[in-house]
């Protein structure tokens, strides 16, 4: 039972991660046809006791289609020919996603445009209108 430290306050237990191994796609010769080097990692976000609810919600938004309807995050790595490297990469991607979900976005404060910006916008429109008006038909 090894804990994976994400932040100072968040650590997930390695027993919460479910890894399965399959054959990678693409080129690689005879060796790739006999080894299961691709890694598929499944992490049940919805039922994880170690993640706060706010992080779970942001993680489901960030994950997008990688999150199932049941709240399971599915990540796949097959970039390297080595199973060990693929396992490290997929775990690092999970850690990066959770770290990104811990960041609380700043609330946008609605503001009105300044008087100067309104004047500049109208002046630009008047100038552009004059340029286009000059492109009219030639009068005799």
DSSP string spanning 33-97?
GT---EEEEEEESTT-TTS-HHHHHHHHHHHGGGB-TTSEEEEEE-SSS-HHHHHHHHHHHHHHH
According to the model, what pLDDT value does residue 25 have?
A: 74
Query: What is the average pLDDT value for the chain, to the nearest integer?
Result: 87
- 35: region left, alpha or beta (phi > 0 left; psi from -120 to 50 alpha): beta
The dihedral built from the CA positions of residue 10, 13, 48 and 79, taken in this order, carries a sign that is positive
**pLDDT class for 117, splitting at 50, 70, 90?**
very high
In the chain, what are the domains? Answer: 3-102 (3.30.160.20)
Please give the angle made by the CA atoms of 92, 22 and 49, to the nearest 5 degrees.
45
According to the model, what pLDDT value does residue 28 have?
A: 63
pLDDT, tens digit, for every residue of 52-80? 999 999 999 999 898 999 989 999 888 88
Q: What DSSP element (H or E) covers 20?
A: strand 17-22
pLDDT, tens digit, for every residue of 98-110? 999 999 989 999 9
The dihedral built from the CA positions of residue 107, 63, 83 and 30, taken in this order, carries a sign that is negative
pLDDT, tens digit, for every residue of 18-63? 888 888 776 666 665 667 788 899 999 888 888 899 999 999 999 9
């Amino acid at each position: 039972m090894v804990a994976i430290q994400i932040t100072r306050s968040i650590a997930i237990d390695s027993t919460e991660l479910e890894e399965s191994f399959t054959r990678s796609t693409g080129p690689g010769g005879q060796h790739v046809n006999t080894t299961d080097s691709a890694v598929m990692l499944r992490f049940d976000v919805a039922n994880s006791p170690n993640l706060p609810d706010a992080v779970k919600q942001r993680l489901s938004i960030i994950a997008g289609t990688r999150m199932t309807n049941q709240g399971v995050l599915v990540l796949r790595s097959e970039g390297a020919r080595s199973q060990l490297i693929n396992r490290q990469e997929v775990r690092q991607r999970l850690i990066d996603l959770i770290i990104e979900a811990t960041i609380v976005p700043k609330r946008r404060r609605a503001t009105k445009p300044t008087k100067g910006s309104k004047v500049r916008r109208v002046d630009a429109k008047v100038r552009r209108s004059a340029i286009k008006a000059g492109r009219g038909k030639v009068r005799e």
